[in-house]
Structure 1
Amino acid sequence: MDAAKGSPGLNPPLRLPSGARGKPIRLNTNYFPIKMKAEVNLVQYEVSIKQDTKSNIKIGKKQNTKIFEKMKERNQDVFSKPVAFDGFKNAYSVEVLPSLKKKKTITFKVILELEEGDGDPVSFTVQISRGITKGLRELMVSLKCTDMHKNISFTIFRMLDTMLRYHRLLRYEAVGKKRYFLLNREINRPIDIGPAVQGVTGFFSSMKASAHEKGSLMINIDLAHTVFYKEQPLLDFINNVLHVGRNDLDAPLDIKLRKILERGLADLRVETTHIPRTYRIIGLSMYGPDRQMFPLNNSESGKIEQRTVQDYFEKEYKKTIKYPRLICIQAYPKEKNIYLPLEYCVVARGQRSFGNLSNSEAGKFIRSSAIPPGKRLEQIKNIYNDNKFANHEMIASLQLDVAKSPFTVTGRVLSPPKLMMDQEVQPKRGGWGTRDEKFYIGAVVYTWAVIDYTHTWQGALERYIRTLRSLGDRKGMVFKSPVSVTKGIRKNVTQQFQNLKKKFPEIQMILVVLEEADSLYSRIKTVGDLEISVITQCVKKRCMEECRFITIGNLLVKINAKMGGINSVWSRSPKLMKRSLMVMGADVNHPSAGDARTPSMAAIVASIDNNFSKYAVEVRPQKHRNEIIQDVKEMTKNLLKSFSIANNSKPQRIIVYRDGVSDVQFHQVLQHEFLAIREACKELEETYKPAITFLLVMKRHHTRFFQVDEVGKNIPPGTVVDSGITHPIERDFYLCSHQGIQGTSRPAHYHVLWDDNNLTMDQLQEFTYNMCHVYSRCSKSVSLPAPVAYAHLAAFRAKVHAMEVNIQES
């Protein structure tokens, strides 16, 4: 919301006039403008919810909201007007509640049966005190303010945002703050994507500040997709998700298996079948129901007795334990000593899956969520109408006027840069080049080898090698016969690679044939990159057997770049190149969900030639899930040295594209990463002060564009939007630089945090679009500038290495 909160002299630059280059294109958006009335006042209340009896049960946002709603339901005379609650300590309404006009505080008693625990009703005291009052006038004024040291009023923005989304929180299962899912099979049928998981379609909605009318609010609505666990017996879940069979669950468990289960089941909610109750898993028993003891108060003698879980279930519930030796789960709260047999537990609905999907599951999920533009816009309109975004009682209370149709904006389609291969080529629909054009500079591959870990038919492998070499020659490469073609031994990857390196010290590349989603991939990359320093190129067995010219052509694009060739360059250098320019890309790759061990990997790359075809790279591990890059200064110094060695001078201009940062981290990036780059320059030479332009690149947003005149088609590559839905004060734009293949194209969002180069919007947008055409791994314009794509690739490769190290250590 408020990008970089103001340090004097260190704030994002103000908006510039929109760009003018390109062909105009009319676009529908998934934004709906909001009109406010300045005289409306919002009141904040401080809310305190306390249990009347001592208990170690923790009450979270969901339970707090249930308590608050129960209180409203029982006291409708007090809460006759809409009141929203943030689930923690704040409630909001329009004007003051009548009961608080004379009193400072009002108190209520609420009795509620909690979702977790032993099922007994719990008594709560809810205390509400009147807090601050804020007028919408303040928000309206701040939205139109152009003072770079002032920010949009965050307090009142948050108040209004909470009020607008509160009724959706009561109806839907919320994922994060802004995504909502209705888990009702009759209304919203889930997509079956695997034995334990299902894809569910919901929606995203968020209030945004926009440049419309020189500063106003809009509601951004989009489809949202996520994966939930199926409701299923816990034993099936353990088998399907954790891949542990029933025969392996007999107590006691070995240490390794116990850790797998504890990690996989932690915080999972289960419903019991012997009584209708929900529990949260916090651990596992040491023994099965036949031996697992727990303390129980004897109502007759008044003494604490030790009972087995099996004995308790048989006598208390008349339930037979079918698997008395299988471990039990332990449920929250720990001090209650609640142990439940696996056979009487079912995975509760509404739980998002954070585990890695299999290739098959991921494919089904991607296909189910790839909604074409026309259908997507229609569904967004349906969501708008079904959820009363324009006429809900809270909207009426706030006296807001929400537009009933999506906002329309005029964008522009930029012309792609002409490229030079062995001849000049003009990209069309985001692609260029055929089998007939040769690479700008073809690589020379003299010494290379092939290892096949799939043991495919020898004739197919020989045909693939012949075709690869033949097409390589046609593309201008020198591709000699491989010095070795061998069958791989999966248990002996390192030794095989070392033997090849020893036998052929000058070996340039090893081409490796693997199965689909082969677990050997990480090992091969780690051995090649770190242990023998030889380039590796993996090929799927299916692609090798099909031996299609187009697939091999795409592979040659990668191989040529890896081996030092240059696929294509800009035909004409931009005006920015009149002074030496280095373009940097930065990204951080985080471990998979559930991985608490592997560090995050930060990567920064920098161009070191005038064609933006050669890059130096710096990679560092850093604190787990820390998004801000910690070692920017040293990484930048090394990159500047690499540029200086390649060009005999330091760059006079630097443009930085930083990927993966959320809008709440803008200030941190400016304060830490941008200043670290400046310090790196100063430490190299006291008087060295290159002009720096620093942009954030964001793909994780929900802005979509839809052609007005060609309904149903994706927007063309080069579509840029820098007005209407953009930031009201700061400098940003949306650019779709790639051709959408399936689903609806997602543009990249660029936000300028600093600009010493004083670039116009046209200069910045054209240069950025052109940089999307120099990614060497394909002959298409990509969705992000090449340096960002390389940084992403480098960080991912470092993650692969780290994962392999973890595997080898374990």
Structure 2
Amino acid sequence: MPPRAAPRGAASLRGGRGGAARGPIEIGLPSDNSHITTIGVKRPNFGTGGRELPIYVNSFVTTIPEGVIHHYDGFLVISPSEKTLPARLNMDIIKELQTAVAPEIFTPRAVYDGRKNMFAVRELPFGESNSYEFEVALIGARAESANARGPKVYKVRLNKVAEINPEVLKRFIQGEQSHDNTVLTAITALNVVIRMEPTMNYPFNVRSFFTDRETKDIGSGIQLWRGYFQSVRPGIRQMLINIDISTATMYKAGPLLRVCLEFLRRDHPSQMSKQHLHERDFLRLQRFISGIRVTTAVPGAGGRIAQTPRVVKKLTRVSAREEMFTLREGGTMSVAEYFGRVQNRPLQFPDLFCAEVGSGAKIPLELCTIPPGQIMRKQIPAEKTKDVLEFATKRPRERLDSIKNGLDVLAYAQSDYVRQFGMNVSSTGPLRLQARVLKPPTLRYGVGSKQPTIVPNNGSWNMVDKKFYKPTSPIIRWILAVFESQTRFTAQVTNDVMKGFTEGCKEVGIKIEPTKIVRYGTGHTKVRDFLKSIGMECYRETGQPPQLYVIILPESGNDIYTEVKYFGDVEMGVPTQCMKSLKCSRAKPQYFANVSLKVNVKLGGINTIPDPSSVSVLTDPHMPTIVMGADVIHPSPGSDGRPSFTALVGNVDSDTAKYIADSRVQTSRQEMIADLHPMSMHILGMYQRYRQNVERRQGTTSNPKRIIFYRDGVSEGQFKQVLELELPLLKKACADLNMDPKITVIVVGKRHHVRFFPQSERDADKSGNCPAGTVVDREIAHPTEFDFYLQSHGGLLGTSRPAHYSVCFSYPLLYFADALQSLSFALCHVYARSTRSVSIPAPVYYADIVCSRAKNHFDPSDSWDLIGSDDAASVDTNRAMDSLDKFQRGFKPLHHSQKTLMYFSVS
């Protein structure tokens, strides 16, 4: 779309920092791409702002095949029961088909994605029908449920559906071809080609595979394996393979009973019997092992023992001694008796539960074995998160070395599949390119600051000698509630914490008086009743309710925290600030300075604002702007029946520093925000009222002229859905409020594997990462659409991940590359609870927090954690809908007094 004249006061929008308007044609862009269609906005130009920085990117150039690729889609692997088979079993079936059943047809061998797509470099000889059906027999451990009566036979039907001319990819990366289905299918084909060899030989998970070259046992029956991610991605004028290291949680190989004992932290199998195992532990164990593949030794003809693979469905409720089944010839027998008398395998632990497998058979735990290399596709226990992070975290130089070493494992040059498709992967190492480092925004602090403005250094600054831009009203009535024993948290410690907290607030400009209400709760205290009672005590003494509760939590205080947040956010509408006893009891002034950052915004203050001169796009008085952040969070794997939560956050002030939020419940794993219309109405209405009542804008001057809508959490394949399903809801909300702002929709992606590495140590920060503000919009960016990668935060541990920004909608086109990159970078500096820039714009970060906090909108006295299914296999559609309805009815709205405050500023 050609640029239009800049509106009044917006001269700096199209160029860089206040430069002249710039047209869409630049060196590197095709001179005529009017025939190209895109899902998002076409790239108008490339950014030029900032200083140059030479970096490596973990991408490797690859050639595009020359010959036609034959696509066999609608591909079916059919078992006698017509059910969907695991991808690993499908791969084994295809391997047997190509190497043993019909090698003369599959020469050279085709590649297969484990589901429904097969690609071949020559047309398979299927005759005029272009279709053929094969029978493949699998013997032993590879069959899903082979038995002593013989191998299991699968039917495989192939249908040719298309021919792919790789020429479309050459045109696409040159910016001369639309991003259509032919391009998507061609990229899919190349991905299947490079993944075929490793997925045949290693455990795999979609785009990664894992080896046992580097492992770590983290207890609870779990191991970590190092793996390699690989993905073919189009760049500008080149096709790339993005390679990264990855981590998988694996079930520990060996006897299932031993793994169960490790998970429950028990020493002996007798401690797992029904009388010794609490119901909650039983359900935890069942969730952990459901879906796991085990092998069992089954006696066969001639004394042969077959290791039969089976999938655990659930645990029996009674022991092997008590579990009865009906014999074919009549009568009943217990499982323990059957294995002892019929199979001559007396059980050592007959009082333990049995594993019920997919076929319905009940197998004693002691007879099941977990094969090696089995990925655990569930959320890891919370206490293991630290172990996973430690294993997965590598400093930039170490990570880049691991990626280079991974090329030996990937062995593209030795892969028959890669060679026969004519792909040659660069052996010169990772891609080198020139990034740019953007200038950070200037931040403004309040009256009384010795340094009223500051320019962050590598995304960091401090609060020394600075006052908040707008401190909250004086805190006169506040309460200190301590949920620790007085022997551990003594009166002296309490006084020290109170002193540290009040001095921390005063240092940044908050007026606060010492509290006279300090009360101790115990482990048996009913949290909300206790907080209400001391709140009433404050009311009796002052005639007014408390302004703030400061809560001291024990180290294992998650349940208390949940009660506190429900009490403050939903029930009573009083801001709460929690501190862990261990941290605050020995804290230095810096700790309380960080606490004050949260307290100030929770009570209505503003910590800092970007100086108007450095973000004129946001602060132009003629173009008032709302910046929104939207996100959806889904239940963890295996949590069937639980809903997804949505959040929308937006600023209400002209300085884009004060935000409000709205959150809802919706159908589990639904990505698009169903209630975006009423949520947008709420944010827009609050913006309008704040502009009228606080900033004294009248009439239509209180309406926004622009909306910048940052959407988090959607994949590239869902961009079209955002435009078709969510954008109309946002537009309708504006229309219903008689507003007509210009809308820009930007998707912020974090779940990708692109990483930046400085070429020289002198260009790195202290953590070895590229400095905050590093931006790339050329070689690795989209060939035709408006996108860029921005690493907006300074590194701490490991290798920093840049955020990927894709401009999906902007009509008319208001922002060119430099303006949008600088704007996004500036918004990463206004995250209220930190004196560091963050990895994504603050409203998006807030939306993520609001989603996570949504679970605190349910009354903790109800058993919400039990609404979902503990037996994932038993969930059906009706039950899921009933569960969603119950969640929606139980989801309590935010208390009205909290709706205008940044209650979500954590803790």
TM-score (norm 1): 0.91
The Cα shift of 1:119 comes to: 2.6
* Cα distance per residue 1:705-756 (max 9 Å; x no partner): 1111227720100001111101111110011111110100100110000113
Aligned partners of 1:718 and 1:133: how far apart in 2?
44
Aligned partners of 1:352 and 1:492: how far apart in 2?
42
Q: Tell me, yes or no, if structure 1 residue 598 matches structure 2 residue 639.
A: no
Decide which of 308, 312, 328 is 1:277's aligned counterpart. 308
Q: Tell me, yes or no, if structure 1 residue 454 matches structure 2 residue 484.
A: yes
Question: Which one is further off, 40-49 or 305-314?
Answer: 40-49
Is the Cα–Cα contact under 8 Å of residues 72 and 158 in structure 2 kept in the other structure?
no
Aligned match of 1:704:
755
Q: Tell me, yes or no, if structure 1 residue 533 matches structure 2 residue 573.
A: yes
* Cα distance per residue 1:649-707 (max 9 Å; x no partner): 1100111111111111111111111111111111222xx32111110011111000111
Decide which of 471, 476, 482 is 2:515's aligned counterpart. 482
Query: What's the secondary structure of 1:133's corresponding residue?
Result: strand
Aligned match of 1:396:
419
> Which aligned pairs between 1:411-450 and structure 2 lie closer than 5 A?
411-421=435-445, 422=449, 423-443=452-472, 444-450=474-480
The Cα shift of 1:760 comes to: 1.0
The Cα shift of 1:800 comes to: 3.4
CA 450–664 in structure 1, closer or farther in 2 if over 3 Å, else same: same
> Which aligned pairs between 1:783-798 and structure 2 lie closer than 5 A?
783-798=839-854
Question: Which one is further off, 75-84 or 54-63?
Answer: 54-63
Q: Tell me, yes or no, if structure 1 residue 375 matches structure 2 residue 398.
A: yes
Is the Cα–Cα contact under 8 Å of residues 30 and 222 in structure 1 kept in the other structure?
yes
Aligned partners of 1:366 and 1:773: how far apart in 2?
25
Aligned match of 2:17:
none
Is the Cα–Cα contact under 8 Å of residues 603 and 794 in structure 1 kept in the other structure?
yes
Q: Tell me, yes or no, if structure 1 residue 693 matches structure 2 residue 747.
A: no
Structure 1: 5+ residue stretches without partners: 1-5, 298-302
Aligned partners of 2:412 and 2:346: how far apart in 1?
52
Q: Tell me, yes or no, if structure 1 residue 667 matches structure 2 residue 667.
A: no
Aligned match of 1:651:
704
Aligned match of 2:674:
630
Is the Cα–Cα contact under 8 Å of residues 449 and 509 in structure 1 kept in the other structure?
yes
> Which aligned pairs between 1:8-407 and structure 2 lie closer than 5 A?
11-44=39-72, 47-51=75-79, 54-55=80-81, 59-74=85-100, 75-97=102-124, 99-100=125-126, 104-105=130-131, 108-113=134-139, 114-117=142-145, 119-120=147-148, 121-146=151-176, 153-175=183-205, 177-182=206-211, 184=212, 188-211=213-236, 213=237, 216-241=238-263, 246-247=270-271, 249-250=273-274, 262-272=286-296, 276-297=307-328, 303=329, 306-334=332-360, 338-358=361-381, 360-404=383-427, 405-407=429-431
The Cα shift of 1:255 comes to: 7.8
Query: What's the secondary structure of 1:163's corresponding residue?
Result: helix
CA 622–474 in structure 1, closer or farther in 2 if over 3 Å, else same: same
Please report the RMSD computed on the Cα atoms of aligned residues, expressed in angstroms.
Answer: 2.8
Aligned partners of 2:820 and 2:182: how far apart in 1?
26
Aligned partners of 2:669 and 2:162: how far apart in 1?
36
Q: Tell me, yes or no, if structure 1 residue 554 matches structure 2 residue 594.
A: yes
The Cα shift of 1:433 comes to: 2.1
CA 254–408 in structure 1, closer or farther in 2 if over 3 Å, else same: closer
Report the residue type matching 2:321 in the other structure: D
Aligned match of 1:500:
534
Aligned match of 1:300:
none
Aligned partners of 1:246 and 1:800: how far apart in 2?
39
CA 357–76 in structure 1, closer or farther in 2 if over 3 Å, else same: closer
The Cα shift of 1:208 comes to: 0.7
Is the Cα–Cα contact under 8 Å of residues 119 and 277 in structure 1 kept in the other structure?
yes
Query: What's the secondary structure of 1:141's corresponding residue?
Result: helix
Question: Which one is further off, 524-533 or 571-580?
Answer: 571-580
Query: What's the secondary structure of 1:12's corresponding residue?
Result: coil
Aligned partners of 1:642 and 1:749: how far apart in 2?
30
CA 408–805 in structure 1, closer or farther in 2 if over 3 Å, else same: farther
Aligned partners of 2:861 and 2:748: how far apart in 1?
31
The Cα shift of 1:619 comes to: 1.1
Decide which of 727, 735, 747 is 2:782's aligned counterpart. 727
CA 90–441 in structure 1, closer or farther in 2 if over 3 Å, else same: closer
Is the Cα–Cα contact under 8 Å of residues 66 and 422 in structure 2 kept in the other structure?
no
CA 130–195 in structure 1, closer or farther in 2 if over 3 Å, else same: closer
Aligned partners of 1:345 and 1:209: how far apart in 2?
46
Q: Tell me, yes or no, if structure 1 residue 581 matches structure 2 residue 625.
A: yes
Aligned partners of 1:467 and 1:60: how far apart in 2?
58
The Cα shift of 1:70 comes to: 1.1
CA 755–169 in structure 1, closer or farther in 2 if over 3 Å, else same: same
Aligned match of 2:825:
769
Structure 2: 5+ residue stretches without partners: 1-33, 299-304, 539-543, 693-701, 867-907
Is the Cα–Cα contact under 8 Å of residues 70 and 160 in structure 2 kept in the other structure?
no
* Cα distance per residue 1:18-66 (max 9 Å; x no partner): 1111010111101111222544444537655445xx5577533322221
* Cα distance per residue 1:249-305 (max 9 Å; x no partner): 3389998776555444321222336863332112333542223233445xxxxx455
Is the Cα–Cα contact under 8 Å of residues 235 and 246 in structure 1 kept in the other structure?
no
Is the Cα–Cα contact under 8 Å of residues 773 and 793 in structure 2 kept in the other structure?
yes
Query: What's the secondary structure of 2:681's corresponding residue?
Result: helix
Question: Which one is further off, 152-161 or 752-761?
Answer: 152-161
CA 445–194 in structure 1, closer or farther in 2 if over 3 Å, else same: farther
CA 359–262 in structure 1, closer or farther in 2 if over 3 Å, else same: closer
Report the residue type matching 2:89 in the other structure: Q
CA 704–173 in structure 1, closer or farther in 2 if over 3 Å, else same: same
The Cα shift of 1:409 comes to: 1.6
Decide which of 464, 467, 486 is 2:497's aligned counterpart. 464
CA 317–656 in structure 1, closer or farther in 2 if over 3 Å, else same: same
Report the residue type matching 2:440 in the other structure: P
* Cα distance per residue 1:535-592 (max 9 Å; x no partner): 1111111111222222222112111222222221122342323211111111112223
The Cα shift of 1:465 comes to: 1.2
Aligned partners of 1:805 and 1:665: how far apart in 2?
38
The Cα shift of 1:96 comes to: 2.1
Query: What's the secondary structure of 1:204's corresponding residue?
Result: strand
Query: What's the secondary structure of 1:153's corresponding residue?
Result: helix
How much identity, in percent, do the aligned residues show?
29
Aligned match of 1:3:
none
Is the Cα–Cα contact under 8 Å of residues 734 and 749 in structure 1 kept in the other structure?
yes
CA 358–340 in structure 1, closer or farther in 2 if over 3 Å, else same: closer
CA 119–805 in structure 1, closer or farther in 2 if over 3 Å, else same: farther
Report the residue type matching 1:333 in the other structure: S
> Which aligned pairs between 1:739-754 and structure 2 lie closer than 5 A?
739-754=794-809
Report the residue type matching 2:201 in the other structure: R
Is the Cα–Cα contact under 8 Å of residues 296 and 305 in structure 1 kept in the other structure?
yes
Question: Which one is further off, 80-89 or 615-624?
Answer: 80-89
The Cα shift of 1:7 comes to: 15
Is the Cα–Cα contact under 8 Å of residues 40 and 398 in structure 1 kept in the other structure?
no
Is the Cα–Cα contact under 8 Å of residues 251 and 286 in structure 1 kept in the other structure?
no
Query: What's the secondary structure of 2:761's corresponding residue?
Result: coil
Is the Cα–Cα contact under 8 Å of residues 220 and 264 in structure 2 kept in the other structure?
no
